[in-house]
Structure 1
């Protein structure tokens, strides 16, 4: 089992040809938001401190178009670092990223740079702030304008929509999504934002989709339980998971690239205690079962509201599906966490748009 020993971090800025610089040895703070919704892609905001004027100008002049963040733990005893600290090193997109042996690090984000800005935090420290979004160019620019002949299927529609994504470098995932066999008797015009048409495909498949590292990932099933990653104090769990009202179960752990949105985690209930939440007393007084109550008040009637506070479901087997991840990290500080919104398998706690908006 990989060990959480010695943080591993790489920050690479790449140009359109896949060449760029590595800024891993600088002080960097970052925040990445990743949720299981198609209306927004993964967003990363990171701040790099005390770069040279030449490197700052290269970034601000948009020499680089994409960013990659690799994080986790080396899992082995440290070796003498031969790299010169505080120097930007040249890299290419082919540089290895991933886990092997005792290592527990991997790619946690790659995306298109949206904007960059520079500033000064105090009299001695300068910084460059960069925001990037996964597959941002495809997400905001891809348009569709084609037709499907009578007798088309959902698979045909999916193929046509993916064709419109392909000029932006978007590939289709290899997962076997079950698509309905319905044959439509009339033709159809595909016109509009390609991402909206992909929403339609996913809805017909009773699934969800998202962009992950330039790949359209769609799923309409839950991963096999054998793939669940065990979380406890020895494997990176921080504190006690927190049950919430209507927003699943919140779990914090150390950064682990093996955990991603729609994957499974296991909280061994013999070792991990979940801090349960109590429904507010005011809601308990208002609640009267599944229906609102009606009482007489002279010549009028009063409808008592039903409590809208419902605690999130807890898994009896300790297995939860990850619905959202918020990464926070600082290479010279304490923060190195993943805050996850999780739901018991087959629970609908996080499926409503209202719950997602609250999150």
Structure 2
């Protein structure tokens, strides 16, 4: 765990090419990311800003970027999004604060429109391009680089006739994902599309007592829950590996009886591979917290990548 010693974090608010670095101040944060279409969220409290700085942040800046990790280890972006709300106040006479709430991809989600005509023969990839690239601000929503291959692997069911797309981009993205067997979400300003029963490519993040696993993971009806030291390598849809012996499991013996409303615990696997469904980063640059809480589903890596996620038992 030598590479997980010495915390490092940067917090930058910006607007266009103009930015303000708040990294030297004390701040604490909560980031919630999930494998859902709803925007991810950030809450951050920054302490003891000068009144002029508070006024500038509230009036001039629209984007916030949070990076976190370790001085000699993994370090990277864990949130990038649009500032939505401020609260200014005091915890005590000597400590003032500015609370900032932000959302990731909410401009696309809440205001993104598509208004295009697709020709006969358009592929699912071309349809998704049309949905994601036409935004409310006429910008582009790039694909995460590691999922481009998965996008290209969708069924090649070309349109038999032309089609008009007009309406909210999120609605068309939802319909596209449901039709082609994918889940879609926006992670740090990038479109992520992953098979419903698959995972993002790349090496699994190994989680153990020597690599940042805290306490004992537990198999619940929601999935396998685990707490780890903050790690920017953990992303929605990626693989993590936890030894089966390290997980508390629940076994129910029904003995021929049927119980309604009784949720079974999520499956575990001998190989220990799991897909990340929810990650919640919690940190304090001057305090104790520096964690990430995960909810995961078991993955059979011996099966095809697009059909490897296992349901609850």
TM-score (norm 2): 0.88
More deviation, 258-267/150-159: 150-159
2:66 corresponds to 1:66: no
Secondary structure of the residue aligned to 1:181 is coil
2:185 corresponds to 1:188: no
- Stretches of structure 2 that go unaligned for 5 or more consecutive residues are 300-308
Secondary structure of the residue aligned to 2:120 is coil
CA distance in 2, matches of 1:31, 1:192: 33
- The aligned residue for residue 170 of structure 1 is 141
Secondary structure of the residue aligned to 2:133 is helix
User: CA deviation digits over 1:160-202, x for unaligned, max 9?
Assistant: 2133138234223341121222233233221211011111222
Cα gap change, 1:2/1:188 in structure 2, threshold over 3 Å: closer, same or farther? Answer: farther
1:222 alignment partner, one of 190, 199, 222? 199
CA distance in 1, matches of 2:125, 2:66: 34
2:290 alignment partner, one of 313, 317, 336? 336
- The aligned residue for residue 242 of structure 1 is 218
* CA-CA distance at 1:104 after TM superposition: 1.5
Cα gap change, 1:332/1:69 in structure 2, threshold over 3 Å: closer, same or farther? Answer: same
Contact in 1 for aligned 2:45/2:97 (Cα 8 Å): yes
Secondary structure of the residue aligned to 2:3 is coil
User: CA deviation digits over 1:277-326, x for unaligned, max 9?
Assistant: 465x9xx69x724xxxxxxxxxxxxxxx5353211111121111111101
1:209 alignment partner, one of 180, 184, 187? 184
2:126 corresponds to 1:150: no
Cα gap change, 1:29/1:173 in structure 2, threshold over 3 Å: closer, same or farther? Answer: closer
2:267 corresponds to 1:313: yes
2:301 corresponds to 1:347: no
CA distance in 2, matches of 1:13, 1:2: 31
- The aligned residue for residue 9 of structure 1 is 9
User: CA deviation digits over 1:253-288, x for unaligned, max 9?
Assistant: 00111111111111134xx52122465x9xx69x72
Question: What's the C-alpha RMSD, in Å, of the aligned pairs?
Answer: 2.2
- The aligned residue for residue 228 of structure 2 is 253
Cα gap change, 1:234/1:53 in structure 2, threshold over 3 Å: closer, same or farther? Answer: same
CA distance in 2, matches of 1:327, 1:231: 16
CA distance in 1, matches of 2:114, 2:276: 32
CA distance in 2, matches of 1:307, 1:288: 13
User: CA deviation digits over 1:73-106, x for unaligned, max 9?
Assistant: 112xxxxxxxxxxxxxxxxxxxxxxxxxxx3111
2:10 corresponds to 1:34: no
Cα gap change, 1:277/1:123 in structure 2, threshold over 3 Å: closer, same or farther? Answer: farther
Secondary structure of the residue aligned to 1:139 is helix
Contact in 2 for aligned 1:169/1:214 (Cα 8 Å): no
TM-score (norm 1): 0.77
Secondary structure of the residue aligned to 1:171 is coil
CA distance in 2, matches of 1:229, 1:173: 18
User: CA deviation digits over 1:141-172, x for unaligned, max 9?
Assistant: 11112222333332331222133138234223
Secondary structure of the residue aligned to 2:176 is helix
- Stretches of structure 1 that go unaligned for 5 or more consecutive residues are 76-102, 290-304, 351-359
Contact in 2 for aligned 1:60/1:117 (Cα 8 Å): no
